[in-house]
Amino acid sequence: MTSTASPFDLDIDLNRVYLEIDPALRAAAWSQSQHLATPASRWRAYLNQISLQTVQPWLTEAIASRAMPMLAMPLLPTIWEWVDGVGVDLTFEKGSERWVLLPTEAIDEDELRVPQEWIDIPSWVGDYYLQVRVNVDDGWVKIAGLATHRALKINGYLDSSDRTYSLPASDLITDINLISLSQTLLPAASKRASLAESPLSLARSMALSQAQQLITRLSNPELLNPRLAVDFASWSALMAHGGWRRQMTEQRWGRPAAFSVGQWLQSGITQIAAQIGWQSVSFQPAAEGARGEEASMATTGFLRTVEILEENRIENYVLQISLLEGDMPNAWRFELRKLNGLVAQGVVLRLLSEDLQPFENNEVTAREPVDLLYVDVALAPGEGIVWAIEPVPAQYEPEILRFDPLS
Amino acid sequence: MRTRQTLIEIFSSFLQFEGDRFKSWHRDPRLQRHMERCCQASTVKLATDEVQGERYWALHWHQQWSSQFQAGSQPKSQNQSQSTSLSQTIARDHLLAYLQETCYWAAYKVSARFSSTQYGLYDCFQLAIAQFEKVLTGFDAQQGFDLKNYAGATFRSFIRDHLRQRREVDICTDWSLLRKVSQKRLHLALQNQGLSDREIASYILAWQAYKLVYVPAQETGSRQLAAPDLSTWEAISAQYNRERHCLSAPANTLIAKQAETWMVAAAKAVRSYLYPSAVSMNATRPGQDAGEFIDSFTDDDQVSPLGELMAEEAYSLRQQQYTQLGDILAATVAQLEPDAQKLIALYYGDTLTQKAIADQLGIKQYAISRQLTRIKKTLLLALAQWSEKTLHIPPASDLLNHSGLNHSGLNHSGLNHSGAALEAWLTNYYGSKI
């Protein structure tokens, strides 16, 4: 009977990679996708999560020493609500690369189609793009072919009607062996074509008021294909800005804002914020200021660890925010220190307004190894703050923290 | 099957089937005459050697066939380019004749393992031989591999891929199939039905709306989607109408009924385009209906002594490389872990399927294929290092081609096809006959 036949009655060509989908993983992917806004986005999240969680272990087994999705798992649905694909950041002995996984159900495997976002948003760009054939019914995933950013950008065809770049199967690399070899053999060949704009400049081009308007319009779940409902420049600015994208996603899902520090103070950290590493902390005020009665007053704050790559070594840093006691209401301190040791020279802690604008005294740089870096900021009601660190931490994207005054 | 005896026969005759069985070798008089003339005119000793000659002529014709691509960028007069394409066509046809047997055995091997009432030996042969051009394009004589081995591995891989796809398509309902076709394939299928570009653009927009609206509502069963109901068609046409302003040519409002009609037609087009009932590809071989070609031969089409001399040198160099390469690979194999050696010997030597090996060793087939892949990677690395040192081919050259630094339509040289070529070498090395 054909329906019980497996593709593996026939030998697998050894230069192809087939991976088995763990049924438990598939079931989890299904239930986790159910809160997305439309049937299409639920199915998209389902396929993307299966593709990621099946391919990721193989990447660490066969290709790289470490493979991490570009964002923490719980944040990925904020991409899949809008568009297909996920970037995976790989670490090699020498250097690192991003591979973008693009699930497809097409039996014919005739082409690799890549949404424009993955090619033209600078902070999303990958080195390789993998066509991942997902067969949920038979329970396997196949790496059908791959191409570099350069090949897609230069030789690919940009279809303006659905904003995708595509390359025919004949232009794809199908022998996966070559790719893993290329890591040892290829002299840092340029796999990326150049892009005109940098991520921040893209988003900066949009004013806060315009962003808010678009977010309200595009988050309407009646709109089945929002990515085509506005010009690409505006759309990509919204997608690239993690804070705006999360806000737009929350509105589409009808959920309250998850990154409101004011709310965290009142009712505890939201689940999603906790999942990506935020935790509350009680601590004594800093030692030098600790005299007399003040020392007994515990302050509440929040912290999360961030991973920063120093000389190809992953180092853990702690980003901490705490309410400043004093004359100014709603004043906060952002503080960065290394978990073990000193903050390395050249590390920058920077705060930006919600639309990624700098302001006076918004950043501090370690001129030499120091204990900690901090920036204080006083906020107007409803104002949001984006933190940034250089070098860019793993799984970073702009995140808007709101500090609504306590009632 | 009777094997062909003479060089002339090997490079000028085609398989005839009777049902699913070998019937006879059909001689193409044009190719036969051409081959005879070339053998007579040849001053190369090898060229008439019954054992060595086969490889010599295979490389010779492949070189002749590919020479046009190498010179392709240079401007040519009308006349020259015509004569090149004629000699190229003849070279191609000789190779098509040459690889008949290889294709037959590839089809035999796969069809014997694939229990299907739909696909017999003959069908598999047709599927594979239709991909013949890809074998020629993919083969890189520089690497020193054998064309026949390479073709065998490639043919087998084509047949297996096709059968796998075909089986999936057969399981799918029309409504599922529409969700499991690439836009490129759909476009080709609609074009094949004679639709205009404008109509195709409208169909594709409707198809995109269909995929957006009609989504599986369960974890599995994506191949068994039933027909959408009226409200679904209404949602699809509404989505189409919202986006039809994006079409380059103005389009009318789509109503639900019409959306359904379009998608039914699209599914039908895909099904018939995806996997047409086997047509006799071998029938496209030249000879019978190309009488004007036969008479248009001139002596120019024969190899000139000078060209042959170079070919002979090149040939012996290739032979040398092939031997060296074999030594390198054999040495690398000998250094593998005993388990790894056992596994490849089992796979390539005893011609067990991966599934059979998996059953025997009590592990999943995925694991087997992955272990085999890892072994092959080791060999490929040795091969890459060797070719970099000996042939001065930077191992990355082809990857760079693909990355767009040096993109050409042809996949010449480099590593990209080493995988298949290595597969061919292993098959040969472990002496699996078919």
Query: What does the mean pLDDT of chain B come to?
Result: 78
Mean pLDDT, residues A359-374 taken together = 95
What is the pLDDT averaged over residues A282-294?
Answer: 54
Q: How many other C-beta atoms are found inside a 10 Å radius of the C-beta of residue A403?
A: 25
As given in the structure block, the two tokens for residue B368 are 């087997």
Give which of A177, A180, A218 to mutate to test B binding, by max B Cβ within 10 Å.
Answer: A177
**A130 φ, ψ (degrees, to nearest 5):** -110, 130
Residue A222, pLDDT above cutoff 80:
yes
Query: Residue A217: phi, psi to the nearest 5?
Result: -70, -50
* Closest CA–CA distance from residue B96 to any residue of chain A (Å): 22
Kindly report which listed range (A3-7, A173-177, B339-343) carries the lowest average pLDDT score.
A3-7
Rounded distance between C-alpha atoms, residue A170 and residue A179, angstroms:
16
Query: Using the beta-carbon criterion (under 8 Å), do B366 and A20 form an inter-chain contact?
Result: yes
pLDDT mean over A233-261: 93
Q: How far is A169 from chain B (nearest CA, A)?
A: 10
Using CA atoms, how far apart are residues B145 and B325, in angstroms rounded to an integer? 9
Residues 154-183 of A with CB under 8 A from B: 154-155, 161-162, 166, 168, 171-173, 175-178, 180-182
Q: How far apart are CA B195 and CA B187, in angstroms?
A: 10
Q: What letter represents residue B177's amino acid?
A: L
* Cα B402 from Cα B400, distance rounded (Å): 5
Average pLDDT, stretch A245-252?
96
Q: Which of A175, A179, A180 to mutate to test the interface with B (most CBs of B within 10 A)?
A: A175
Q: Is residue B360 predicted with pLDDT exceeding 90?
A: no
For position B399, what pLDDT does the model report? Answer: 43
pLDDT interval class at B158 (50, 70, 90): confident
> Model's pTM, two decimal places?
0.82
pLDDT for residue A405: 58
Distances (CA, A) of A282 to A301, A403, B50: 6, 18, 89
Task: Select from A46, A107, A176 the Cβ nearest to the Cβ of B168.
Answer: A107
Count CA within 13 A, CB hemisphere, residue A95. 9
Do A40 and B213 make contact, defined as CB atoms within 8 angstroms? yes
**Cα-Cα-Cα-Cα dihedral sign, residues B33, B35, B38, B44:** negative
Read off the pLDDT of each residue in B171-180 and give the average, rounded to a whole number: 96
B5-58 residue pLDDT tens? 889 999 999 999 988 888 999 999 999 999 998 888 887 777 777 777 888 899
Q: DSSP letter at A284? A: P
Strand order across the A279-283 sheet:
A279-283, A299-310, A313-323, A331-338, A372-378
Identify the CA nearest to B285 among candidates B51, B115, B103: B103
**Does the pLDDT value for residue A258 go beyond 80?**
yes
Question: Is A40 close to B182, i.e. CB distance below 8 A?
Answer: no
Q: What is the ipTM of this complex?
A: 0.89
Q: How far apart are CA B231 and CA A283, in angstroms?
A: 59
Residue B50 has what pLDDT?
Answer: 73
Question: Which residues contact residue A379 at a Cβ distance below 8 angstroms, ignoring those fewer than 6 apart?
Answer: A330, A331, A332, A385, A403
Q: How confident is the model at residue B402 (pLDDT cuts 50, 70, 90)?
A: very low
What per-residue confidence (pLDDT) applies to B285? 40
The residue of chain A with its CA nearest to that of B275 is A108
Range scoring the smallest mean pLDDT among A296-310, A321-335, B17-31: A296-310
Q: Which residue has the higher pLDDT, B191 or B51?
A: B191
**Nearest CA-CA distance, residue B95 and chain A, Å:** 22
Specify the pLDDT at position A235: 95
Q: Is the dihedral of CA B377, B378, B381, B386 positive or negative?
A: negative
Report how many Cβ contacts below 8 Å link chain A to chain B.
198
Choose among A5, A43, A148: nearest Cβ to B167: A5
Q: Which amino acid is it at B398?
A: D
Q: Average the pLDDT over A220-238 and give the result.
A: 94
- Mean pLDDT check: name the lowest of A154-158, B133-137, B317-321: B317-321
DSSP codes of every residue in B252-318: PPPPHHHHHHHHHHHHHHHHHHHSPPPP-GGGGSSSTT-HHHHHT--GGGSPPHHHHHHHHHHHHHH
The answer to whether A83 touches A103, Cβ cutoff 8 Å, is: no
pLDDT given for residue B306 in this prediction = 45
If contacts are CB pairs under 8 Å, which of residues 187-226 in chain A contact chain B?
187, 189-191, 193, 224-225
CA end-to-end distance (rounded Å), chain A: 68
Residue of A11, A43, A137 with shortest CB distance to B220: A137
- pLDDT at position A267 is 85
Q: Which of B215, B376, B402 sits opposite A14 (nearest CB)?
A: B376
What does the alpha-carbon distance between residue A50 and residue A55 come to, in Å, rounded to a whole number?
8
| Minimum-distance CB partner of A182 among B353, B399, B418 | B399
Tell me which residues of chain A, numbers 19 to 48, contact chain B at a CB-CB cutoff of 8 Å: 19-20, 26-27, 30, 39-40, 42-43, 46
Give the helix ranges, DSSP H, for A256-360.
Answer: 261-267, 271-275
- Of the listed ranges A21-30, A272-281, B178-187, the least confidently predicted one is A272-281
Give mean pLDDT, residues B115-142: 82
Question: Which of A3, A4, A9 to mutate: most B Cβ within 10 Å?
Answer: A9
pLDDT at A30: 98
* pLDDT greater than 90 at residue B212: yes
State both tokens at A94.
């020498």
At A220, the pLDDT band (50, 70, 90 cuts) reads very high
